[in-house]
Structure formats: structure tokens, C-alpha cells
Copies of this chain bind each other. A is one copy, B any other.
């Protein structure tokens, strides 16, 4: 008799963004003609840049000929892209990586979800709170998270609250943890870690033989030149950190699907009898077994981001979104809201007015201003009392949304 993996049954049936979509659909069904502006889900709105479009057409034409046709690529990705990554994303920051430390993927969600397969089922996982739900849910599915309590916390997860009290910067764990998920620039709070703060985490991991899963999906949005773009800018990080990158937000690849993961060869985890096992070959084995590489077209598209034109065009789009962010930050402050982030990240984290809560404010905003945000509690217990806005709308929609919110508040 086939038995189900009962860990799945501990997960709430709902998924944050599905819940939001449902509520928005109900609103639309009951308010015919109302135009809803979404600054909720973190999806981009601007088209792919011309360099990427050109690369996609060219790769398509190659696939139409016997000589140019590409079948299975390497599971780890094509060297043309891995080399471009090393040369553009790491060398200029003084980070020297080997090509076989780079694994091309179909976006960071897959790899941040799958990476936990490499570690023992009973390792203790620490997460910042609020947090991108995938980190916890992927651990819950294998039983590593324990049980979900009525307070919304999983019994085997160590939560590191990020709130107004600590300026949204997590404090080092008070007890030993084995694995730590960090995402900076942060989703959802939009905060960043300075080099000094990030160094504390690397040192903690080295001292405790912990591993950091570092999600750098939003690094392209960093404006302040002193903020690290990669955890490998910190000495010792190669021994303790795996880093995830995505082109989704960097170059509007949410529909194209491409990103990459760095698994340094120096990084090890222990066996119960104390041997140190490098994780790079294990991740390679995992990918070769359960993944057949990312679309050739998507990889050629990603390569184009690193050409001079590609770089310039991608930067323009990021600047466009950051212009939105600036406007939102200024306007929200002007309206008297308490807001975080938005300076080095495409996310703005807003405290909801007193006597409201995340979901209530979400609904008030939807019904009052026809604007969609993301309820902060969807990112974890410490997100209660906050909502997230994204800068990924169009300029016009963002301005219109701000105008509507201003009117609604009056």
C-alpha cells in the first residue's frame, strides 16, 4: 500500500500568492470595471531588453538548422554562460571562482527549494522572520521543520525576528544552528547587510561549522557601493556559504527562467562520524540526476545580459524600477507611513496603521484604493503588522497607485 509523505499534510493548504490572487479575483468579480493596480507579487512588468531579444531570435534560428541545433546541454549549464558569470559577476569584485562551482538553473526558486536535499533531515534550520516562504516550506516537506504551531511557527525552525526593535537586522542565534537562510537585499523587508554585519554571519558559520544559504536574487538593486553584492566578498565565506542568483529581477527573466547557484569546492558538511564531505560534487550529482539543464534559449538570453549593450539596457530597467521605489518611499513618508527598504532593494516594507493588521490593511487598500500589496504576515509571524510593496510596476501605474492611496487616506 502506497503511503503518503505525511509531512506535506502539515503544510497549510494555502500559498500566500494564491490567497492574494483569490481575494483580488473576488474583488474584481464584485466590482466590475474597477481597475486594480498590483504592487503585490514581485513580478516585473517591463519587456526584455533588445540585447536579450536579439539573442533569443539568434538562438532560435540556430535551433532550426542541423548544424546549429542543440539538444541536451550540460546539466550544469553551458560554459559560455558560466564563464560570463565568473568574468562579470565575480572577478570585478575580486572573487575568483572555478567554472565548476557555477551551476546554471531555471531560476532561484528551484535551487533554494532543492538545496536542503544535501543536508541531513534533522539539521536545525535558522531563518530570518519575516522570510520568503519557500525556505521553510521546502524544509517542512521533508519533515525537517517539525510541526507548525498555532502561533505560525514551526517547532524545529529557529526564527530570528527582524523588526523595528533591531532595525530589521537579525541577531546571531542564541543557540547553535546548523543551517542559516539569509536573503540580502532582503525579501520582503528591503533591508541590506553591511560588510561588517555580513562578516558576523560568516564568522558565526565558520565557528559553528554551520552552512549559510545566501539568496542574492536582488543584488542588482544595490545602490550603495559599500554594500556587498556577494557573500564571497567576505573572507572565509567559500568555506561556509552557498549563494543563489537569479536573472528574474536583474533582467526581467521571470518568464524566461534562468539563474545560477554557486557551490564552492571548499564548502563541506560533516558525517555523523566526523568526516568532512564537500557539497559541490553532491550538488552536481543531484543536478545530474534530477535536472536536465536549462533551456538553451534561456542560457543564450542570459549570456546577452553580459554584453556591453545588455549591461546598459538592463541597468536602465533597474534604474526605472528604482525610480518607482524612490517615489514610493518619498510619498509614503510624506503620507506619514513608517517605511523600510526601497533604497537598495525593489521592496518597501510598510508598517500598517495601528488597530489594523496585515490582511485587514490589504483588504482596506484593495477595496478603498484598488491597489494590491502583500500582507506581511504571509512572510512569517514577525511580518504581522506590515505589508510589502514592490517597485516592479510601470511608472504610470505606480504613480496612479500612489495618487489613489493619497485620495483614499483623505
Contacts and interface: CB of A to CB of B under 8 A. Distances in A.
A365 B112 CA distance: 43
Given A9-B271, A50-B64, A141-B289, A255 B72 contact: yes
Contacts of A142: 117, 142
A53 B64 contact: yes
Contact of A295 (B69, B133, B295): B295
Interface stretch (A84-92, A280-288, A335-343, A353-361): A280-288
B281 A13 contact: yes
Nearest to A68: B47
Contacts of A3: 119-120, 122-123, 178, 269-272
A152 to B, nearest CB: 17
**Of A2, A56, A137, A255, which is in contact with the most chain B CB atoms at under 10 Å from its CB?**
A2
A15 interface: yes
Interface string A166-180: 000000000010110
Contacts of A6: 120, 271-272
Contacts of A279: 4
A110 interface: yes
B65 A256 contact: no
A1 B270 contact: yes
A138 B107 CA distance: 21
Quickly give the copy total for this chain: 2
**Of A11, A114, A257, A269, which is in contact with the most chain B CB atoms at under 10 Å from its CB?**
A257
Q: Interface residues of A toward B: which range?
A: 35 or more
B56 A69 contact: no
A269 B2 contact: yes
B2 A209 contact: yes
A160 interface: no
A309 to B, nearest CB: 14
A314 B8 CA distance: 39
A15 B288 contact: yes
A56 B298 CA distance: 12
A93 interface: no
Contacts of A155: none
A66 B394 contact: yes
Interface stretch (A37-45, A193-201, A369-377, A380-388): A37-45
5 contacts: A1-B210, A2-B123, A4-B269, A48-B69, A117-B142
